[in-house]
């Protein structure tokens, strides 16, 4: 779970990069890093936290130049205390520094490490790329990076900054998104298209599967390095991307409304009074679900608390869930005596849903029906989404009926895989491994 | 703009108070303070920022006891650098410490200060109350506080903590809200009812106009100190309170949907494609506005960015507004070529709306119509809402047509005052001074 | 181990108080607090650390008024994480706030707490004083405080700030120092006289045993509340006070040089080449010891590193002591092949001395003789000096010969008690309990 | 004003480097940086402040490997807010990272920059070295670095860390010190020998003028790259180095005592009662000055306050100097009525001395004579000591008599240049440019 945003040839490149990372901040909130270029040197700054907090004006002042490559990420290891693992990571090619940012996950790292025979400075799979590049260094970047790319397995969307070039790469499966935007003579790379409006840019194209896009003083050039073999992540459009993004050609917001509508057609809840999304993940699914008017009307009985801050554990008399209490505000008057359809995008660990339902019961809901906009997630993702271990996935060991009993719902329905495929433009070009376990 | 939350007789009282303040955090985000009581001593902690950040576990550990009174507030003076002005403020009565938290605004402070003849430790009008109380100290608290209350003019909802009592007071106008909740033998005071569910409590009653509610080991007792003369703030239900709160007997969320529907009946926008709220303030108004289906359908083309962080100024080529860019995410695909109705709750300074419209134009909206759920705010509030000086109120010097031109909208309509009164249960019991200038 | 510094009637009183506390900072470095008065209100600020770090300009700006009372202290309990225990502590008398700062230790707290019957807000013996004062509150401060003082046992030098008065008190034993200084119409109280020059003041007198000194608009007034029964701490002049202070009438620097000279007369080290103090505690003792020229000449072979900072543990190959390595710099050229007399003021835990000697051996010292300017400390102090528990006092369980062997010295001599008494002006008026165990 | 400390082949190399930098911390306190090597990769950490504060355990944990190169420095520009200018700086040679630390000052940077034709990433003269090295990169480090060194003018003592080598270099003038130490199979480089004992090492040799010392798995190897032309800084032994260091073959502490003695022979102060050093810079000069007993006896009437912290400006009634008040403690009893010789090492800006004398007068000193252990500093240093601009050097525009009048002394004498030369072993091998203006 990572995000990339980069700027080529724009004044205040580092600030624009922060603005871009801020818009895709939902992809990862733990670390942020930016490398900038003034055409000759590279400058690197990074830190722990969200982009707008990490990049103080002090740090921005040190990020000289008109181009910049930014990255946000989750920790690889849960208790990673060092800052070694913040991206972009640095490498050397042709006696010059380069910076690499990676979204995705390599699946043949053991084999790659054997090819390298050197100690690693970080614990990230990404480090294989600069290390291999050093082995293949002939001084000609495009040729050398292709030699490296063909040895990689798994998913990788990459941004690479050289002193005088910005490069975007997507592997042949195009499992992770990566798009290009433009504003006059300035170019932008982003994991999601929703970041372009806020930096004044317009969406131009996606980086095509198996291609390298090189942006430099001579303009933009595309090179194919592998035949497309698409396995686009179906979870991106449902859960991970921002609803304002166009992901793999689909508008994420529209898809979610359509899923909500289909869910209601398949599994109506005719005795329900109100349809309540888990905000904000369930909002658009609930909007679609309530469209027909048959299964209750849309309600904001649960709203999201916009103020964050440290969490502490209050062992209070009522045994309330502190996390839910921190994140949500409940309207007792809306809930009391009602039959409620709770709608969410997906069910992974199930802890939030469980706590929300128990909260609704305590506030005297008459009945609680649950509708989920994605099939049960039964298998961990190996391609860059942190969907947890098997033991943390509620659906890996429980049937739908057992889940319903565990979370305390009166009824529970998931969008079936067939329905999901029917909603997909070219269903065979997507990855469903987290549903089926069919890894590639 | 302040908020009060208090706990009587519950384990972890200080933590519950933080949970309560967190739910009403939208009322004020600058300072937070809590005074707790263990039955004998009072303990005070405070700081700058939102409640969950101010109250670290260190501070919570020092807030001993089973009762606590919390307060959140805006700075009185814009460049207030001291921490002197954080509430609750301390006073002495009958040789014991007391703590006072105030929501509202006193209008006769000059006259009160003449009665006091002492130097003030803070620059808050609230300090008149403990100072006058010292003058009237006969050792009998209820008698003495009434002697003070009758000399006060303006609006005041008060929470007062004594070592062995918790007291809630509302002036005769009941201009500011104050409610009482209960969970078993524990009692709660809150500026808004939405805070009760998250601490496991249920809403019991409002503090009646001109009464003192005393909560102590003997239970709850109400004393009348002035005849009711209600002037309830009409802005609370529209703008200030959380939609999940019941304010002055009305459910704020329901009122907002009703206002949106009436706005559409009065000023439809039949050529519009989509209805887009300024999130989150305009959400429920837009829901009401789109109900009939005549004036475009509801859309989330503007969404709110949940990640905050420092603001920095990027003087970029496109001259974009950094504040709007920080707060919102725009869906270009939803906006391009559309005729859009932008809906918001109110128009005070007009800066956000202005920047949003220019953003929509840049993203190729075909037309932008604006509908506002409250009449033009033409006069500053003197009763505790920080609606700015005359010069900052866009409607104080401009006609509706001039405002439309200034913000660059194709059409602009406000909810008329008559319609607002028609929606009010007993319209003569409300204050409309910010609309009419009829101060009392 | 505490220090008091107070200012009466001077502009910038709080800043002067910080300057004074800074000069006596050697008495305690863990916490600092100041209460100021503007004649009507009291203002309190405090924090963890040395005075100049705690009192930022923000805090100083909130300490209004021309009088201030400051205190520095060690934690009472070793793992005290709260800030409850910072002094001055607040109390109420005659319906007004007062502030109390205490140097010393009460020995009858159990008995006092029985008289009080209330829960304490802190874990400090000092809190007995405001609590008892509340019991005796007749509105006449001097009368009431005397009623309290006569019930206290142990040692106490007190500073008390009322809105319109500053008060200095010393118990009948005058075990802890407390002095008064003056500059024009401004008065000062200090635990040590060395603080007066830096605030432009001159030393006037000590607070006499068993008296209350009241400083107010009418000038200075002394009241006797108990017959003198002096038990002045002999450790103050040797170890605790700054050498520039006049303590109990003696100039601490001169006393230390005299002790050093007597030590050399009693226990010369005629084969020694150089006399090396443990800096800075041993400096003046070594100066005296080297005066005769018989037992080596004065050398700065060990110097003190003025740069501080965090300590970390380096388990390095040489097994060096990190603490000594952090604090001291050694001149190998001065040490190699020499017979050295190491001089220090006292031996309490013995850890530093032990590590220093092993360091000298490693740098090829030929012989190491140790001379100590105070008799073996065999018993913990009960009167306010944190000389540790019995088990931490090296001399409580070991003979001089055993200590010599333990620290690895070639010879070891302490100043005998008789010699110490011979150097004292009126030896029967001093406390020697830490040497003899004769507690009073 | 910088310092270098490096470790080759020792466990906990980074911690040992912090211990070494801590001992030479007097050379510079503003920034600290360390680069470590694990034989393959380099790791860099740096920050603002003293070494022990900068290198938290987090940072130390990221400095992997058994070799490390550390540097402490003053800012080049007075208002340098970036961290760009912290050393060691990184470069690339033979496709591998290298790290360079520099003590001294290059005097032909303009000419060097013309040779380079690239934008610099920092504002440090030191950056010329890696930039030139890139130009000369043939893959053979020793040959390439010599090509660079011969083009440099000015003074430079360098430490260079390669993944598998540690290199120490001193220019032909050997203007700045650089020494080598050893402990078993571990080697150390230090700007001063005083750092060796604290890391368990012994001083082995200085880096000879015009030589490169290479430390690697094969041991230690010396290469001559320029004929010696010594211009050793005379200020190092008097002022800059720690008294425990052996600088250019002389023990700094012994030299200072000898200077003090000669100063007294030349300019006795026979009517003086006491000799008072400005601590700690004047301590050993005063010890020498007082040896004969003719010109007063040694006294500690001014002592240094070991507690630091923020400086704030107190515009108090007495107009006292806050800086002096913060740094020193005065013994009124020692000063009152006395004729005093104040001894210091040098007079540069004269501000401290001026404030100290006015302080002594206020404390009723009868007379104040000043003796300074170095000739008047009339010219700025161009070789790495930050002795300020001409306008800040008190002696650049004033005669000795005018200085005496300005600082308010009864008499003032400096060590004459001839006397200084007489005390120097080979006087023609030293630089006296700051005294004479004879730059080279």
Q: What is the pLDDT of residues A37-70, one digit of tens each?
A: 999 899 999 998 999 999 998 899 889 999 999 9
Interface contact A61, partner B, CB < 8 A? no
Mutation site, B331, B360, B361, interface A, largest A CB count within 10 A:
B331
Is residue C81 scored above 80 in pLDDT? no
Q: Where does the pLDDT of residue C174 fall: very low under 50, low under 70, confident under 90, or very high at 90 and above?
A: very high
Rounded percentage of chain C residues whose pLDDT exceeds 70: 95
**Residue contact C12–D314, C-beta within 8 A:** yes
The alpha carbon of residue B181 is apart from the nearest alpha carbon of chain A, in Å, by 13
Q: Where does the pLDDT of residue D318 fall: very low under 50, low under 70, confident under 90, or very high at 90 and above?
A: very low
Is residue D310 scored above 80 in pLDDT? no
Count of pairs with CB atoms under 8 A, one residue in B, one in C = 44
Residue D129, helix vs strand vs coil: helix
Query: Tell me, what's the pLDDT at C316?
Result: 43
Q: Where does the pLDDT of residue B83 fall: very low under 50, low under 70, confident under 90, or very high at 90 and above?
A: low
Interface contact D401, partner C, CB < 8 A? no
Query: Which residue from A82, A118, A119 is facing D61, i.e. has the nearest CB?
Result: A82
Question: Please, which residues 344-363 of chain A have a Cβ atom closer than 8 Å to chain B?
Answer: 359, 362-363
* Contact list, D82 vs chain A (CB under 8 Å): 58, 61-62
Q: Where does the pLDDT of residue A316 fall: very low under 50, low under 70, confident under 90, or very high at 90 and above?
A: very low
* Contact list, C362 vs chain D (CB under 8 Å): 200
Asked whether C34 and C17 are in contact (CB, 8 A), the reply is yes
ipTM: 0.90
Query: Tell me, what's the pLDDT at B84?
Result: 62
Query: Tell me, what's the pLDDT at A313?
Result: 44
Q: Where does the pLDDT of residue D121 fall: very low under 50, low under 70, confident under 90, or very high at 90 and above?
A: confident
Q: What is the mean pLDDT of residues C355-361?
A: 95
* Contact list, A164 vs chain D (CB under 8 Å): none
Q: What mean pLDDT value characterizes chain A?
A: 92
**Residue contact B97–C96, C-beta within 8 A:** no
Asked whether A145 and A213 are in contact (CB, 8 A), the reply is no
Interface contact B208, partner C, CB < 8 A? no
Give the chains touching B; criterion: ≥3 Cβ pairs < 8 Å: A, C
**Residue contact B119–C61, C-beta within 8 A:** no
Q: What mean pLDDT value characterizes chain D?
A: 92
Retrieve residue A351's tokens. Answer: 């802890």
**Residue contact B62–C83, C-beta within 8 A:** yes
Nearest CA in chain A to D40: A119
**Full-model pTM:** 0.86
Interface contact B287, partner A, CB < 8 A? yes
pLDDT digits (tens, 9 = 90+) for C48-75: 899 999 999 889 988 999 999 999 998 7
Nearest CA in chain A to D58: A82
Report yes or no on chains B and D touching (3+ CB pairs under 8 A): no
Query: Tell me, what's the pLDDT at D143?
Result: 95
- C-alpha–C-alpha distance, residues C405 and C363, integer Å: 19
Interface contact A205, partner D, CB < 8 A? no
The alpha carbon of residue A432 is apart from the nearest alpha carbon of chain B, in Å, by 27
Q: Where does the pLDDT of residue B178 fall: very low under 50, low under 70, confident under 90, or very high at 90 and above?
A: very high
Retrieve residue D430's tokens. Answer: 């030293």
Mutation site, A36, A41, A55, interface D, largest D CB count within 10 A:
A41
Report yes or no on chains C and A touching (3+ CB pairs under 8 A): no
Query: Tell me, what's the pLDDT at C313?
Result: 47
Length of chain C equals 440
Mutation site, B311, B317, B355, interface A, largest A CB count within 10 A:
B317
Interface contact D41, partner A, CB < 8 A? yes
Is residue A319 scored above 50 in pLDDT? no
Is residue B320 scored above 70 in pLDDT? no
pLDDT digits (tens, 9 = 90+) for B402-419: 999 999 999 999 999 999
Is residue D333 scored above 80 in pLDDT? yes
3-state secondary structure chain A: CEEEEEEECCCCHHHHHHHHHHHCHHHCCCEEEEEEECCCCEEEEEEECCHHHHCCHHHHHHCCCCEEEEEEECCCCCCCCCCCCCCCEEEEECCEEEEEEEEEEECCHHHHHHHHCCCCCCCCHHHHHHHHHHHCCCCCHHHHHHHHHCCCCEEEEEEEEECCEEEEEECCCCCCCCEEEEECCEEEEECCHHHCHHHCCEEEEECCCCEEEEEECCEEEEEECCCCCCCEEHHHHHHHCCCCCEECCEEHHHHHHHHHHHHHHHCCCCCCCEEEECCCCCHHHHHHHHCCCCCCEECCCEEECCCCCCCCCCCCCCCCCHHHHHHEEECHHHHCCCEEEEEECCCCCCHHHHHHHHHHHHCCCCEEEEEECCCCCCCCCCCCCCCCCHHHCHHHHCCHHHHHHHHCCCEEEECCHHHHHHHCCCHHHEECHHHHCCCC
Is residue B313 scored above 70 in pLDDT? no
Q: What is the mean pLDDT of residues C307-330?
A: 67
Question: Please, which residues 126-165 of chain D have a Cβ atom closer than 8 Å to chain A?
Answer: 134, 137
The alpha carbon of residue D94 is apart from the nearest alpha carbon of chain A, in Å, by 7
Mutation site, B31, B62, B89, B164, interface C, largest C CB count within 10 A:
B62
Is residue D314 scored above 60 in pLDDT? no
Is residue B346 scored above 80 in pLDDT? yes
Q: What is the mean pLDDT of residues C415-430?
A: 96
- C-alpha–C-alpha distance, residues A303 and A329, integer Å: 5
Query: Tell me, what's the pLDDT at A123?
Result: 78
Q: What is the mean pLDDT of residues B58-74?
A: 93
* Contact list, B29 vs chain A (CB under 8 Å): 307
Query: Tell me, what's the pLDDT at B117?
Result: 80
pLDDT digits (tens, 9 = 90+) for C33-47: 999 999 999 999 999
Query: Tell me, what's the pLDDT at A385?
Result: 83
pLDDT digits (tens, 9 = 90+) for D424-435: 999 999 999 999
Interface contact C405, partner B, CB < 8 A? no
Query: Tell me, what's the pLDDT at A314?
Result: 45
Between these two residues, D291 and A317, which has the higher pLDDT value?
A: D291
pLDDT digits (tens, 9 = 90+) for A70-82: 999 987 554 454 5
Catalytic residues of A: 2
Q: What is the mean pLDDT of residues A223-227?
A: 96
pLDDT digits (tens, 9 = 90+) for A79-109: 454 556 789 999 999 989 999 999 999 999 9
**Residue contact D81–A92, C-beta within 8 A:** no
Q: Where does the pLDDT of residue C77 fall: very low under 50, low under 70, confident under 90, or very high at 90 and above?
A: low
Catalytic residues of B: 2
Query: Tell me, what's the pLDDT at A309?
Result: 63
């Amino acid at each position: 779970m990572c995000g990339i945003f980069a700027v080529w040839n724009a004044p205040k490149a580092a600030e624009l990069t922060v603005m871009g990372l801020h818009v895709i901040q939902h992809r990862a909130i733990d670390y942020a890093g930016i490398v900038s270029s003034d055409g000759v040197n590279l400058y690197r700054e990074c830190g722990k936290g969200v982009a707008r907090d990490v990049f103080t004006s002090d740090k921005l002042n040190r990020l000289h130049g008109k181009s910049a490559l930014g990255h946000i990420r989750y920790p690889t290891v849960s208790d990673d205390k060092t800052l070694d693992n913040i991206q972009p990571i640095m490498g050397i090619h042709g006696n010059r520094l380069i910076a690499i940012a990676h979204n995705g996950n390599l699946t043949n790292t053991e084999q790659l490490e054997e090819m390298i025979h050197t100690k690693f400075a970080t614990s990230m799979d990404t480090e294989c790329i600069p290390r291999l590049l050093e082995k293949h260094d002939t001084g000609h970047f495009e040729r050398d990076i292709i030699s490296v790319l063909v040895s990689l397995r798994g998913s990788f969307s990459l941004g690479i900054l050289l002193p005088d070039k910005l490069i975007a790469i997507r592997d042949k499966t195009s499992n992770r998104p990566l798009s290009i935007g433009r504003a006059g003579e300035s170019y932008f790379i982003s994991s999601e298209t929703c970041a372009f409006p806020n930096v004044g840019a317009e969406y131009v194209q996606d980086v095509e599967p198996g291609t390298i896009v090189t942006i430099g003083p001579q303009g933009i050039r595309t090179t194919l390095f592998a035949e497309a073999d698409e396995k686009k992540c179906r979870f991106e459009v449902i859960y991970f991307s921002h609803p304002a993004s166009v992901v793999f050609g689909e508008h994420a917001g529209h898809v979610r409304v359509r899923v909500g509508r289909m869910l209601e057609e398949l599994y109506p809840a005719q005795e329900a009074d109100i349809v309540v999304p888990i905000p904000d993940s369930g909002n658009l699914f609930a909007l679609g679900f309530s469209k027909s008017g048959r299964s209750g009307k849309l309600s904001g009985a649960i709203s999201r608390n916009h103020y964050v801050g440290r969490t502490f554990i209050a062992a209070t008399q009522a045994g309330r869930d502190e996390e839910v209490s921190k994140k949500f505000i409940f309207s007792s008057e809306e809930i009391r005596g009602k039959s409620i359809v709770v709608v969410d995008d997906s069910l992974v660990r199930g802890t939030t849903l469980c706590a929300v339902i128990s909260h609704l019961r305590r506030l005297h809901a008459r009945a609680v029906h649950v509708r989920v906009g994605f099939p049960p997630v039964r298998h961990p993702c190996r391609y860059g989404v942190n969907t947890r271990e098997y033991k943390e996935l509620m659906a890996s060991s429980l049937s739908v009926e057992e889940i319903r009993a565990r979370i305390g719902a009166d009824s529970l329905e998931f969008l079936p895989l067939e329905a999901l495929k029917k909603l997909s433009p070219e269903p065979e070009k997507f990855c469903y491994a987290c549903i089926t376990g069919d890894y590639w």
